[in-house]
Chain A
């Protein structure tokens, strides 16, 4: 559908946007899910209360944090444990955690609490119900937890440099929702306005977790230091986020939800196009944008990574921000689009995508309504049109996958990887097709490009007027690929325009795209298939929610 606000400059094409290198350089933006949640909490004046906090001096016990929306209540039920250091693992295959949580739909009764206490600490090995909206866990940052507890217990503030080095006191290692392990299905809550946008239950759970963790660390300091203990300085306290450690599970999500992916990318690209189409760029605009670039630079100072790929990207990003500052100081900029074009022509992809987020950030009045377009009804839209002819299908394949026509599938590097699920806690993994014996027998359908090329080869043997229904009858093995082509033809940003099983593919690119839509910052890859992030850092707590607005994502100052 044509957007009247984008009449001159079109949205960026899928062949540019849906490349893994660009997806893996995405930054959070105003349409990210935690930003949407924060705006709603503020707009509707959600009220927060601590219903229970029964935690002993070892950090063991339970707590309940309740949030009241205009129509409903939701409660984070937290279980704190005393976990030996050697059991602390971010992997799905972990068996124990420092804290476990569920987001309860309402206020739990005593009976609910007993049931939850028997199940939530077990995570995947337990069972939750339709009354629960999420299931999650978090581990302490060993680097920071003791330092903060000890400092506060001694009546001192923790070292801001150490705080900045890590950025969070606990990191979540999984936040399950949407029917997982018995939880409420998305269909159960999607009619509620507060959960219409994607992943709002999960984001609410993480926001409440952050509040709980900050209360917990101050509680532990009081237990240790008694009357000498002090609370965290409010500015420093606000800089803490909740960490998250994410593995391969997120990558299949993007491939398994093409219509949802399309809606996310469409909203973001539409937002960018609306800003680029603005005819005027005044001195006020330039001053506002310059201030935002300064804050993005502060954010960059807090972004740490030891991974060679990210180290290189951060160096390029620093140079790009310097170049942007030089441009803005040199004199009046012609238009918002001129800023974008400058970045696209001269910056690294990482830098260009930061500029995209900054441009979107400057125009809430133009883009915030697009939050309503992010969700997708995936029950319709994925049906196959068997009356489409072979000629039509081949035309669609050429248009969407044409960039890959020259790929040689006999070359092992082009199909080196196998996505599979391990019997061990059903952990998603990535194998080497030509190294690991029999691993291809367990391959998941997460290689649409190869499968569409196989379909295309099959189609070449038929007349262009043949209905695809005839082909599917004799070749059901191509059914998923044909569906994929038709979805991608209807939804332009549904398909990743890259080879998801080649030897050089970086799963972290897919993880980062999804995490950027969550609203994460400080992406820190730990390997090519593992990334840590920070969520809700610098976000206002309930006591300052009303006056903070939605202007918190880029820090105003750096404590370190």
Chain B
């Protein structure tokens, strides 16, 4: 497993030498979506909280960094930290209300908050430039080239994924999984379920903010639709595609989703139709996502000792 990861990283490291800028950009976008999806999966797959509103927190991160870069002369490193921090603060506020509910009510409340964030961004023209978005965001010279930004975001995404992995494997992470399996039972052994859920929500929001910040600097523009529920659905689809019960599932999902998106949009204007059919097929036939499919395939293929 470790060998696989190291070789994948080496491959990603040397890739820019072999492929054109268009592909580098695509893979860069893929990392960022993978990070956002993994952040979402912290509460989705590992804690069982179906949030319809990750896009709101992602947009908070993106807009914070964008506004700071455009309006102030604050050093770049500080704006990079500010995005996730603001997203984390927003997640504390949103999460405090949301974790008091469960199931469909939790999901609808996250949707409502995300749409409020969208409305604020959209309507507060004086501050956020509304529907026009914020364009031509100044990024430091050393990150201006596509290849440099690729390495930059690769490093940040890997560090964040490592942190997420450490969180999931820690006692905190195990408790989250216990809450997913049976919240009542977990409560009965003395765990403050609400507090764990809120912490997970805030951590997830923080990493969504990192993804938003990265995308803001990647795209050099931000728009209100970063907060729209369609974006949230995109993240949910990516998680599902890859498999929500596997750590690297969302990464796999993001690779497949980006490739499907680029390839299919070049053939037809009916990309939503194809995506819809793919999701249906996945839900009906490939439960566990693609990562699940691979894992089961590997298990079946592995030779067994005679017992």
Q: Are A and B co-members of a single complex?
A: no
